[in-house]
Amino acid sequence: MKKIRELLLKGKNFVIVTHVNPDIDGISSLLATGLVLKKLGKNVIGLMESPPDNIEFLRGKEILKFLQSTSGELALPDNFFTIVVDTAEFERTEEKIRPFLKKSKAFIVFDHHQPGEKHGFPEEPYFFVNPEAASTTELLYNFFKSCGFEISPEIAHNLLAGIYYDTGGFRYENVTAETFKVASELVKLGASSSEIARNLFENTPLVQVKLLKFVIERMELFCEGKVALSYITKEDLELLGKPRYINDFASFMRGIEGVELSALVKELEEGLISVSLRSTPPVEVVYFAKSFGGGGHKYASGFKIENQDLSEFLEKFKKELTSYYERYKKT
């Protein structure tokens, strides 16, 4: 922490990025960190490939710069530091941005996921990682507070948004007493909990409702109703305009009475499949995800796999999912 604090205070130019298909915790972490650095008098660029959905309620969006609006040409300041939030793996950052980041003086990583075996950064980063934190924004709050950095109402708002999202409104197993303590302090600092809740859980775009219809129609329950599996095809996504963000429908299925393990398979492109896994204690999914090259949390993980036919993958994956659940229950 001391070394990272020193770098943040001494550096002048910073580029902040998050993971591919960013969620609210990743975007909130990016914006909150950017606002902290702006208050320290730094030059800051929050770099993303294209504008994400549903971030109107977040603060500090003016620091964002989108690669798609630069026609692929991007001028970054000299001697910049790169801060990566909500992932500790370089390959999880947006692909088109990575070449520009290789000129960075150093990499600083803030994350709360289970670390992978290889980080993939061009050089050894400065890691600030805690898998026990409910969200990256919770981790950042404790870091900013320990460093003595000012947390304005705008920063507090973004930090609480990330916590609220990654805990499912404080419903998930990652919530601890520390999570509630941090949330309380952020509200006192000026975060609007009602605005955050309204935008995250009551402002559902129509395209997400249509996607949920597909998920419900195709959902299959097996292992005596303990395991749920459904899927979304690339044709579904093309029909609905290829939404960049897909709601956490795996958690929706896990919320069905009796379900202990759920999986949502998404055919993003021809041959490219993404899988979201969710479970309830004591069933853990992180090691199952890692067996496919993915990762995440104990009860919320995922992975991507290439060169796969959707129908063939679903048939094979259902057997593997069943086998994993049955082995886990026996132990």
In this prediction the pTM is: 0.86
> In order of start, what are the domains of the chain with their CATH numbers?
2-201 (3.90.1640.10), 206-330 (3.10.310.30)
Show the low-confidence residues of the chain (pLDDT under 70).
Answer: 71-72, 244
Residue 165 to residues 16, 158, 230, 284, Cα–Cα distance (Å):
20, 11, 23, 20
The reported pLDDT for the residue numbered 227 is 98
176-213 pLDDT, tens digit each: 999 999 999 999 999 999 999 999 888 788 888 999 99
The reported pLDDT for the residue numbered 161 is 98
Residue pair 253/230 in contact (Cβ under 8 Å)? The answer is yes
The reported pLDDT for the residue numbered 276 is 94
Q: Could you give the CA distance from residue 52 to residue 191 in angstroms, rounded to a whole number?
A: 21
Q: Could you give the CA distance from residue 308 to residue 111 in angstroms, rounded to a whole number?
A: 30
278-308 pLDDT, tens digit each: 999 999 999 999 999 888 888 989 999 998 9
Q: Could you give the CA distance from residue 157 to residue 176 in angstroms, rounded to a whole number?
A: 20
